[in-house]
Amino acid sequence: MRLYRQTTSLLSGSYAWQHIRACQASLVQARTLIQPSFDYKFIRDNADQLLENAVNRNVHNAQPHRVGKLYDEYRALVTESNTHRSMLNDVSKKMATVAKTRSKAADFQSEMSKLREQAKQSKQTIQTIKDKLHNVEERLRYEAAKIPNLSHPDTPVGDESKARVVCVNGNLHTTDRVPLDDSGKLSDVEFQDHYDLALKLGIVDMEAGAKVAGSRFHYWRGAGALLELALVQYAMTRAVAAGFTPHITPDAARSSIIDACGFRPRSHSEEEQLGSEAKHVGEASQIYRMSPVAEESSKEHAADPLCLVATAEIPLVAMKQKQILDSTVLPMRLAGLSHCFRAEAGARGRDTRGIYRLHQFTKVELVTLAHPDNSESELFRLVEFQKSLFADLGLTFRVLQMPTFELGASAYQKFDIEAWMPGRKSWGEISSASNCTDYQARRLGIRVRTDGGSNSTMFVHTLNATAVAVPRLVVALLESFQRPGGHVVIPTVLRPWMMGMEALAPYK
C-alpha cells in the first residue's frame, strides 16, 4: 500500500500555496465545488503506468501525460510569478529609499517616474501570469479528475467474462426441479421466475408503479412490504452487532459530492457532446439530477445541483468531508439505509422484467473509513460479513473477483457476490464490496493524523459493501425457496419481522 502514500504537498514555497488558496476562493469549477487534492507530481512521474491502467479499465479519455505537462507549466508559471513579485518588492524598496533622500527635485521626479513605470509593468505581468495560472489549474483539475484509481495487482484484466470465481456456497445451481421440502427431495415441477411468483403471491404491483411514476417503478404490497422491512431489519441488526453504526441517510446529494465519490453526473447535452466517449467516463448515465421548481433559476442550483443518490455510500462517505480524523477512531464502520435511484440506461431484455432492475429501490450499505495500512484486510472483513448474511439466508451464492472493466472510476479492488436464481437459470448480482483507497478521500478532503506529529496527515482509505439490496434479494429468495404448490418459504432469520408468517402463500 506504500504506493498510495503519495505526497500531499504539490509545491513548496509560501507563494505557491497562497496562490492556490486564493484561486480556491475565486474559482467556480464546472465539475466540482469541493477542491480535490490530486497528486500532480505522482501523476507526472507515473504517467505511463497510469495510462496503461486506464486502458486496462476501458477508460480511454484519461490523459496522464497531459497532466504532467500541465503540472510543469503550472510550476513554471508559479516560479515566474514569484520572480516578478520579488522584482516588484525590490522596486517598492527603491521607491521608499528615493522618497527618503529627495536630493534634487528634477532627479527625484525622474527616478520616481521610472520606478512607478517598472512597478506598473510588474503588476501587469503578475496579473497576466495569475490569469494563466487560473486557466492551467482549472485544466489540471479537469484532466486529473478523468484518471481512474489504480488497480490491485491481482485484479483480472478485461471485461466481465474475466471475473475470477473465488468460492461457491450451496448447491441449488445443480438442481433443475423445485424441492418438495427442506429434506432435499425434488418434485417434477420446474422453477418459476420471480415475477410470475410475485404476481401470484400478490406482493408487488408494477402496473400501479408504472401509472404513477413510469416503467420500472413498483409498489410493495402486503407481505411484500413486510419482506422489505424484514430484510432491512435483518441487515441492520447484523451490521450493528458487527460494529457498524446505523444511519438513515439523505436520498439526495449535491452534484459535487456525487462527482467526488466517483459517480460523474452529466446532462443530456454533455452526453451528446461526449458521444462514444461517454461510456468510458464513469457511471454518469445512472444518476438522476433533481430540478426543484423554486430553485431552477438560482445560481446555487446551476453551480451545484442536487442529485438523487445511487447508493448510501455517497452520503455516508461525504459525512466526513473536509475533516481530519484522529487515528484512534479508525476503522470507522458505518451502515446506511437509503432509497437508491438509478437510471439504468441501456438495460434491456429479461433484466427489465419484474423487480430485477428498478429505477428506485431500498438498500442497506456498509462503509468503512480505514487507515491505509489496513484497508486491504478491511475489504476481506466486509466480504466475510456479506457471506455470513447470505449463508444464513440459505442462498446459493458465489464470490467473484471482478476484472478491470468492472471497477468503475473509484475502486482499487472489487468483489461481487452473485446468487443462483433458478427461475432465471443464471447467477445474478446481489452485492459488491470495493476498496476505493484514497480516491474518494482526496476529492472530499478526508484525512487522518499520523504519528509524524500534530500537523502530519494522510488521506484515509474508503471502502463500501452492500449488505442488502432489497429487490435483488427478493428475486433470489422467491426463486430459491419456492415450493410446488406455489408457496415460498420465508428464511428462518427473517421470520421475527414477518408477523408470524413462515411462508408466502398465493394471493386469493
Instruction: Enter the C-alpha cell of residue 71.
Output: 503540472
- Note the pLDDT of residue 8: 33
3-class SS at 508? coil
Rg (CA), the chain: 28
**Contact assessment for residue 124 and residue 259, using Cβ atoms and an 8 Å cutoff:** no
3-class SS at 6? coil
Residue 474, class by beta-carbon neighbours within 10 Å (0-12 exposed, 13-18 middle, 19+ buried)?
Answer: buried
3-class SS at 244? coil
**Contact assessment for residue 407 and residue 428, using Cβ atoms and an 8 Å cutoff:** no
Instruction: Enter the C-alpha cell of residue 198.
Output: 410475485
For residue 15, name the pLDDT band (cuts at 50, 70, 90).
Answer: very low
- Note the pLDDT of residue 455: 80
Give the C-alpha separation, 192 to 488, whole Å.
11
End-to-end CA distance of the chain: 59
User: For residue 179, what is the DSSP state?
Assistant: B
Give the C-alpha separation, 427 to 423, whole Å.
10
Q: What is the number of residues in the chain?
A: 508
3-class SS at 335? strand
- Note the pLDDT of residue 97: 76
For residue 321, name the pLDDT band (cuts at 50, 70, 90).
Answer: very high
Instruction: Enter the C-alpha cell of residue 321.
Output: 468531508
- Note the pLDDT of residue 114: 81
Give the C-alpha separation, 465 to 242, whole Å.
14
Conformation bin of residue 147: beta by default, left when phi > 0, alpha when psi is -120 to 50: beta
State pLDDT tens for residues 402-434.
999 999 999 999 999 999 999 999 999 999 999
Structural element, H or E, at residue 448: strand 446-449
- Report the half-sphere exposure of 373 (CA within 13 A, side-chain side): 4
Nearest of 474, 479, 467, 404 to residue 431 by alpha carbon: 467
State pLDDT tens for residues 456-496.
999 999 999 999 999 999 999 999 999 998 999 999 999 99
Q: Find the farthest-apart pair of alpha carbons in the chain and give their distance in angstroms, rounded.
A: 116
Give the C-alpha separation, 178 to 485, whole Å.
10
Cα 402 vs. chain centroid, distance in angstroms?
16
Alpha-carbon distances, residue 392 vs 229, 296, 464, 501 (angstroms): 17, 48, 21, 18
Give me the chain's average pLDDT, please.
86
Q: Which of 1-15, 267-281, 444-458 has the highest mean pLDDT?
A: 444-458
Q: What is the pTM of this model?
A: 0.85
Structural element, H or E, at residue 369: strand 360-370
Q: Going edge to edge, which strands form the sheet with 397-401?
A: 164-169, 397-401, 413-421, 426-435, 461-469, 360-370, 332-341, 245-248
pLDDT at 13 over 50: no
For residue 345, name the pLDDT band (cuts at 50, 70, 90).
Answer: low
- Note the pLDDT of residue 261: 94
Which residues neighbour 119 within 8 Å (Cβ) at sequence distance 6 or greater?
88, 91, 92, 95
Give the C-alpha separation, 345 to 284, whole Å.
10
Q: What angle is formed at CA 173 by the lines to CA 167 and CA 174, rounded to 5 degrees?
A: 110
**Contact assessment for residue 422 and residue 170, using Cβ atoms and an 8 Å cutoff:** no
Give the C-alpha separation, 309 to 427, whole Å.
26
Pairing relationship of beta strands 252-254 and 306-308 according to DSSP bridges: antiparallel
State pLDDT tens for residues 34-64.
789 999 999 999 999 999 999 999 999 999 9
If you write DSSP's letter for every residue of 128-166 in order, what string do you get?
A: HHHHHHHHHHHHHHHHHHTSPPP--TTSPPSSGGG-EEE
Mean pLDDT lowest for which of 173-187, 216-230, 488-502?
A: 173-187
**Contact assessment for residue 337 and residue 364, using Cβ atoms and an 8 Å cutoff:** yes
For residue 4, name the pLDDT band (cuts at 50, 70, 90).
Answer: very low
Alpha-carbon distances, residue 48 vs 154, 364, 442, 478 (angstroms): 19, 39, 22, 49
Mean pLDDT lowest for which of 11-25, 360-374, 472-486?
A: 11-25
- Note the pLDDT of residue 27: 37
